């Protein structure tokens, strides 16, 4: 049976806005995932009383004139719960890595034995723990807000499609319900990571 042109056109148009909302949902989820990753990286900058290679993330050393991340210049091991050992692939980089660590804001002086560097992580005082928990809570809320802002932006875009008659209200409503589920999922992930980080901070 031949499909009337008007019906065929409507079907094609429906497919177009349906795909548009689908693409919008995928884009939103990708942004939410990246927000969780960025928030987790922010958490890694908060020092705990335990040794963790992520403590050195973001610190670069001058390696033959190029600022290079330490984790690309050396292996970083944790032989003890409060100690990091940095072993450069090139012994000539030891001094540069040592200087980079001393100039960073982690406030830990490495011990240089000629071929590697040792960092002893001091235990946190109760006062410092409380300060870091406040910082953690602030970063957690920033992560939540970022995810909710993504929800708001894509929901606004779906409403714009309805106004332009490029999507039906029912489709937009289902889309917004889907986005809410994604929002709840990724906010929950941020909260879960934050809870684990707080447990590390409070560990004596």
pLDDT in tens, 118-142: 999 888 889 989 999 999 999 999 9
- Contact criterion met (CB below 8 Å) for 168 and 13: no
Question: Cβ-count burial of 108 within 10 angstroms (0-12 exposed, 13-18 middle, 19+ buried)?
Answer: middle
- Contact criterion met (CB below 8 Å) for 118 and 111: yes
Any bridge partners for residue 2, and if so which?
none
Tokens describing residue 141: 């809320």
pTM score, whole prediction: 0.71
Report CA torsion sign: 78, 82, 86, 87. negative
Would you identify the CATH topology of the domain 5-45+126-202?
A: Topoisomerase I; Chain A, domain 4 (1.10.132)
Question: Of the candidates 46, 32, 16, which has an alpha carbon nearest to the alpha carbon of residue 150?
Answer: 32
State the Cα–Cα distance between residues 195 and 185, nearest whole angstrom.
Answer: 15
pLDDT for position 18: 52
Any bridge partners for residue 62, and if so which?
67
Over residues 158-167, the mean pLDDT reads: 90
What percent of the chain clears pLDDT 90, i.e. is strictly above it? 67
Any bridge partners for residue 198, and if so which?
none
Confidence of residue 7 (pLDDT cuts 50, 70, 90): low
Which residues of the chain form CATH 1.10.132.20? 5-45+126-202
- The tens digit of pLDDT for each residue in 34-83 reads 999 999 988 987 888 888 898 898 899 999 999 999 999 999 999 998 99
Find where tokens 């290679």 sit: 53
Which residues of the chain form CATH 3.30.1360.40? 53-120
CATH class of 53-120: alpha beta
pLDDT for position 16: 47
- Contact criterion met (CB below 8 Å) for 73 and 63: yes
Residue 6 pLDDT > 80: no
């Amino acid at each position: 049976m031949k499909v009337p042109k008007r019906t065929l056109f409507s079907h094609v148009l429906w497919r177009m806005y349906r795909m548009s909302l689908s693409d919008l949902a995928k884009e939103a989820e990708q942004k939410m995932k990246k927000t969780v990753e960025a928030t987790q990286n922010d958490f890694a900058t908060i020092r705990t009383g335990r040794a963790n290679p992520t403590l050195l993330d973001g610190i670069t050393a001058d390696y033959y004139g190029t600022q290079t991340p330490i984790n690309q210049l050396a292996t970083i091991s944790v032989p003890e719960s409060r100690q990091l050992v940095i072993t450069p692939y090139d012994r000539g980089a030891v001094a540069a890595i040592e200087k980079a660590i001393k100039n960073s804001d982690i406030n830990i002086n490495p011990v240089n034995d000629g071929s590697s560097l040792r960092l002893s992580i001091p235990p946190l005082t109760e006062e410092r723990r409380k300060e870091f928990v406040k910082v953690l809570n602030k970063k957690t809320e920033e992560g939540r807000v970022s995810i909710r802002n993504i929800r708001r932006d894509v929901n606004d875009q779906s409403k714009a499609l309805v106004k332009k008659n490029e999507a039906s209200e029912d489709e937009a409503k289902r889309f917004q319900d889907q986005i809410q589920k994604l929002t709840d999922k990724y906010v929950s992930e941020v909260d879960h990571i934050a809870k684990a980080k707080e447990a590390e901070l409070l560990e004596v």
